[in-house]
Structure 1
Amino acid sequence: MTHVLGDPAPDGLLDAFWAYERALMSDDLAMLDRLFAQGHDTLRGDAAGLLVGHDQISRFRGGRGGAPARSVLQVHVRSLSPAHALVVAITELERGGRGQQTQVWRRGVDGWRVMAAHVAVPAPAFDSRVWRVVGDPLARPTGSGPLDGETVAVKDLFAVAGHPVGAGNPAWLDQARVEPSDAWAVRMLTGGGAAVRGIARTDEFAYSLAGTNAHHGTPPNPRAPGRIGGGSSSGSASAVSLGHATIGLGTDTGGSIRVPAAYQGLYGLRTTHGAVPTAGAMALAPAFDAVGWLTRDAELLARVGGVLLPDTAPRPVREVVAVPELWALAEPDVADAVAAFAEGESARQESWDLTDLESWREAFRVHQAAQAWATHGSWLRNRLDVLGPDVRSRFEAAAQVTPDEASAAATGVAEARQAIRDLVGDRVVVLPSASSVAPVLGSDPGRVRDATMRLTCLAGLGGLPAISIPTTTQEGLPCGVSLIAAPGRDRDLLAFAVDHAQRLRP
């Protein structure tokens, strides 16, 4: 829904604005010519330069082949005089990212006409917060298939032939070998027709949910400017949200696909544990590590699943279950958005006894820590100072886990896994993808991390597939609805997401 803000719009102004917007999206050159003021003084500018005069602007439009598809989110009106008004429109491109269009309108005998316009759109460019390396492309498709024409941002944990794996840490990158071959998932994507756009940033060793890499900075969140974008698949998510790539390949151990999907208004899938081979991807905690990916639309998310997931017979989702006790773990604005989604899907409410949730989360934390240290401790033991403060604190704690504690945690994880699978059964369960909207840059993410882990650990402990579907709070900030299901029902969740997206279309 478009919000109109500012001064009351003079009669006829918004009608003219929306006529212009419709003409722009349909490439109606005749209407665009009529709505731009005739004469030599009319202006149109963007990052490429300034066009002066109606005829020059008309020639530009006739040769560009239409404007990028977009939607208008906000319209700000300022009255400058009885016959002049300033309109600033906040737009969102279909390919990802936000833009602005500023127009000065003048009312004459033939109605409102644009005297001057300036267009600002996110330009695809190298951003070292988002990318470690990019190409044009970095790796070409090796085959043709359902992903023809798509581009992939590969999380810097997956092997890409000819490049080292950096794992978000400069010291690791300095000693990393050049990979002789692609990771399994990368090989399948390029075989399905996709090109690798580049290798995207990650939180160090994927041991974070924030996306705030101490060495490379925080990738931007174009859907919620001034807020973090989530991690650890941070660069992959931002690359997709910005429109630099159409697919973000990542991993999800404790929420590293679902959290950035929620924060940035993307679709994201964490696959059933073991359903997609992790061969060629750096591990964090193998008991929980799962391959996942992010896209801007449900259809593409499903097409990627067609390439990466086992070919299983689809089963319709017959029962959607809503658990208010899980919603209560989120902030009220997110809980309300999830409740609205559940109501729209006619989800049946049921009550869960979450008495054991805290012990489940603690078992997850300790078992993850023990595995993370077993995986990386030999290299990090005398190098903890190369880590940023937040990730270093986690590895320092991981180093202190005793064998008895690790064994007890493994037992707790096994018990939790069975209990969670029993609760989910053959249904689809609705819960928040993260406990809040994206925190503001510079705030302490610790409290949010703990609250979010109480939600995200359920799929990790259960080894379950989980899909994050984007929605928004009442204030318009992105958040995510997570759906979890029994092991192996990844394709069923994808089909549900596609159907839901189609039902939302006008």
Structure 2
Amino acid sequence: MTARNPQPPAGLVEAFRAFEQAQAAGDSSAVAALFAPGSTTLRGDANGLSVGYEAIARDTGAGAQRRLVQTHVQTIDEDHALVVAVTELAAGGRGQQTQLWARLDEGWRITAAHVSAPSPPLDGSIWRIVGDPLVPCTDPDGTLAGETVAVKDVFAVAGQRIGAGHPEWLQHAPVETQHAAVVRLLLDAGAEIRGIARTVELAYGLGGANPHHGTPPNPRAPHRLPGGSTSGPASAVSLGHASIGLGTDTAGSIRVPAAYQGLYGIRTTHGVVPTDGLLPLAPAYDAVGWLARSAFLLRAVGDVLLPDQASGAHETLVVVPALLDLATPDVAAAIRAWLPRLTREEHWPLDALDEWVTAFRTHQGAQAWETHGEWLAPRLDTLGAEVRGRFEEASRIGSDQAAEAARTAAAAGRSVRELVGDRILVLPSASSVAPPAGADPADLEAARQATLRITCLASLGGLPAVSIPLRTAEGLPTGVCLVAAQGRDRDLLDLATRLA
């Protein structure tokens, strides 16, 4: 260790060595313990900035295996010093860490740190396979020329397998001989396929984590979940790796990542966009959707994928306080502050909402097991705990229970369509901001259930829904959702563009 001053302050070298030993041992608790307590301690890396000791302890995991190449100390005074170290990673490449140390009552502690490391050539939590491009467009003069697409790993791409977020599914999947209908339409419009992006296992989840491939990053809300199940495409778009994220929305799988990552997203009217070449989850609710960083591009994709639709003409916006209050106060406040001046407040009869949510979950689960149960039954132990639990629950749904849930869900769908009518319903895209990635599983499940109470309405009604990005007072991304009658997808996209 070299120093600008002849001798580093007493005890600093030993504290730095203890830090490196904890890193080498993968002891994240010991690493965190060498940061200073309090709310002003800082640590930044490629995943974002953690402010305060509690955030650092939560967000900091074991570092990559590395070897110190150079270490330099700049002594500020007897109680403060700056340490800059160059490291050589076992996986290749060099990184650098800069640490500001202070002598406290409990010894030397880091008060601020920044860590840099070589970017991976392919972030496996976001992408399964990527190219430059993976598939070129078929019309370089098309309306989407210059745009790139991250395809959720449930759509057929000719020459590739569908992986569905599960290694064993990928292993047994056949090589696709032709593109899914929507993939072909995008290529014919001039867009290029950048790659195939990750999804929650079999697209059955809203958080975005995948036990096999990791959790895609959320650059708009670092150290928080990206939202799913269209998680990889959302992160790819948010990071600028692709301009369009092609995905699906069964229970909110476009709307939730759009809200969590501050993106525009659309769930289309059920059945209005062709699903040929799509691996289903629950066909009664599966709908094609997509994400973009701007409302204008969201609409441009709609011009390619949506059929001609007669305008519904009415743009009366209505908000239902009981639905808005299903969101956390910060999300509800952001939406109230956003509401256009002429938005009408209405009070809907929602006494049956809990019954509707239960019917939706049961019918969705029954369909998911009918779709995948035969293949999954001997392989349930290959799934992560979260998705395995859902499929296990689905496997226990009897035929009579499934039929009753289908009837209740169909009646609920009719009620939702009648309530929306020819107006546009305004409600949250998700019940909360993105939960922390390391949150307790019970808290994550509670957030999922709260969000389903909101997102199931458009799913039950088969209605189009567009998510528009907002920010809470604390600066975290969230979303406001516009829901309209079946076939009014283009109206919603036009309105979102004007509002943007």
Task: Assess same fold via TM > 0.5.
Answer: yes
Structure-to-structure mapping, 1:368-387, within 5 angstroms: 368-387=364-383
Question: Any idea what the Cα deviations from partners look like across 1:366-395, whole Å, max 9, x if unmatched?
Answer: 000000000000100111011000000000
Structure 1 residue 495 and structure 2 residue 491: aligned? no
Could you say which residue in structure 1 is the equivalent of 2:241? 244
Could you say which residue in structure 1 is the equivalent of 2:474? 475
Corresponding residue to 1:204 among 201, 210, 226: 201
Note the C-alpha offset of 1:145: 1.6
Structure 1 residue 256 and structure 2 residue 259: aligned? no
Could you say which residue in structure 1 is the equivalent of 2:404? 408
- Opposite residue 403 of structure 2, the aligned amino acid is S
Could you say which residue in structure 1 is the equivalent of 2:283? 286
- Opposite residue 219 of structure 1, the aligned amino acid is P
Alpha-carbon contact 2:312-2:422 (below 8 Å) kept: no
- Opposite residue 407 of structure 1, the aligned amino acid is A
Could you say which residue in structure 1 is the equivalent of 2:80? none
Alpha-carbon contact 1:421-1:486 (below 8 Å) kept: yes
Alpha-carbon contact 1:317-1:496 (below 8 Å) kept: no
Describe the shift of the 1:258–1:481 C-alpha distance in structure 2 as closer, same or farther (beyond 3 A): same
- Opposite residue 469 of structure 1, the aligned amino acid is I
- Opposite residue 417 of structure 1, the aligned amino acid is G
Could you say which residue in structure 2 is the equivalent of 1:142? 138
- Opposite residue 387 of structure 2, the aligned amino acid is V
Structure 1 residue 304 and structure 2 residue 301: aligned? yes
Could you say which residue in structure 1 is the equivalent of 2:427? 431
Deviates more, 1:304-313 or 1:132-141: 304-313
Provide the secondary structure at the position in 1 that maps to 2:391: helix
Q: Matches of 1:451 and 1:410 in 2, distance apart?
A: 21
Deviates more, 1:313-322 or 1:158-167: 313-322
Note the C-alpha offset of 1:125: 4.8
Note the C-alpha offset of 1:353: 1.8
Note the C-alpha offset of 1:417: 0.7
Could you say which residue in structure 2 is the equivalent of 1:336? 333
Alpha-carbon contact 1:139-1:196 (below 8 Å) kept: yes
Describe the shift of the 1:323–1:380 C-alpha distance in structure 2 as closer, same or farther (beyond 3 A): same
TM-score, normalised to structure 2's length? Answer: 0.75
Structure 1 residue 395 and structure 2 residue 394: aligned? no
Could you say which residue in structure 2 is the equivalent of 1:295? 292
Question: Any idea what the Cα deviations from partners look like across 1:228-287, whole Å, max 9, x if unmatched?
Answer: 000000000000000000000000000000000000000000000000011101000000
Provide the secondary structure at the position in 1 that maps to 2:154: coil
Alpha-carbon contact 1:169-1:215 (below 8 Å) kept: yes
Q: Matches of 1:141 and 1:151 in 2, distance apart?
A: 9
Provide the secondary structure at the position in 2 that maps to 1:383: helix
Q: Matches of 1:491 and 1:345 in 2, distance apart?
A: 23
Structure 1 residue 463 and structure 2 residue 435: aligned? no
Question: Any idea what the Cα deviations from partners look like across 1:38-86, whole Å, max 9, x if unmatched?
Answer: xxxxxxxxx9xxxxxxxxxxxxxxxxxxxxxxxxxxxxxxxx9xxxxxx
Q: Matches of 1:172 and 1:245 in 2, distance apart?
A: 25
Q: Matches of 2:221 and 2:118 in 1, distance apart?
A: 14
Percent sequence identity over aligned pairs: 61
Corresponding residue to 2:159 among 159, 162, 175: 162
- Opposite residue 483 of structure 1, the aligned amino acid is L
Note the C-alpha offset of 1:316: 3.8
Alpha-carbon contact 2:156-2:277 (below 8 Å) kept: yes
Note the C-alpha offset of 1:362: 0.5
Provide the secondary structure at the position in 1 that maps to 2:378: coil
TM-score, normalised to structure 1's length? Answer: 0.74
Alpha-carbon contact 1:124-1:243 (below 8 Å) kept: no
Alpha-carbon contact 1:317-1:492 (below 8 Å) kept: no
Q: Matches of 1:153 and 1:133 in 2, distance apart?
A: 10
Could you say which residue in structure 2 is the equivalent of 1:441? 437
- Opposite residue 226 of structure 1, the aligned amino acid is H
Q: Matches of 2:118 and 2:277 in 1, distance apart?
A: 33
Q: How many residues are aligned here?
A: 385
Query: Structure 1: which 5+ runs fail to align?
Result: 1-46, 48-79, 81-117, 502-506
- Opposite residue 172 of structure 2, the aligned amino acid is Q
Structure-to-structure mapping, 1:51-62, within 5 angstroms: none
Q: Matches of 1:206 and 1:153 in 2, distance apart?
A: 15
- Opposite residue 473 of structure 1, the aligned amino acid is T
Describe the shift of the 1:296–1:209 C-alpha distance in structure 2 as closer, same or farther (beyond 3 A): same
Describe the shift of the 1:478–1:122 C-alpha distance in structure 2 as closer, same or farther (beyond 3 A): farther
Could you say which residue in structure 1 is the equivalent of 2:212? 215
Could you say which residue in structure 1 is the equivalent of 2:60? none
Could you say which residue in structure 2 is the equivalent of 1:73? none
Provide the secondary structure at the position in 1 that maps to 2:470: strand
Q: Matches of 1:267 and 1:319 in 2, distance apart?
A: 21
Alpha-carbon contact 1:262-1:479 (below 8 Å) kept: yes
Q: Matches of 2:322 and 2:231 in 1, distance apart?
A: 29
Question: Any idea what the Cα deviations from partners look like across 1:395-440, whole Å, max 9, x if unmatched?
Answer: 0000000000000001001100110001000000000000000000
Query: Structure 2: which 5+ runs fail to align?
Result: 1-45, 47-75, 77-113
Note the C-alpha offset of 1:124: 9.3
Note the C-alpha offset of 1:340: 1.4
Describe the shift of the 1:123–1:467 C-alpha distance in structure 2 as closer, same or farther (beyond 3 A): farther
Could you say which residue in structure 2 is the equivalent of 1:322? 319
Provide the secondary structure at the position in 1 that maps to 2:397: coil
Could you say which residue in structure 1 is the equivalent of 2:352? 356
Could you say which residue in structure 1 is the equivalent of 2:310? 313
Provide the secondary structure at the position in 1 that maps to 2:138: coil
Structure 1 residue 224 and structure 2 residue 221: aligned? yes
- Opposite residue 476 of structure 2, the aligned amino acid is L
Structure 1 residue 275 and structure 2 residue 267: aligned? no
Note the C-alpha offset of 1:217: 0.3
- Opposite residue 157 of structure 2, the aligned amino acid is V
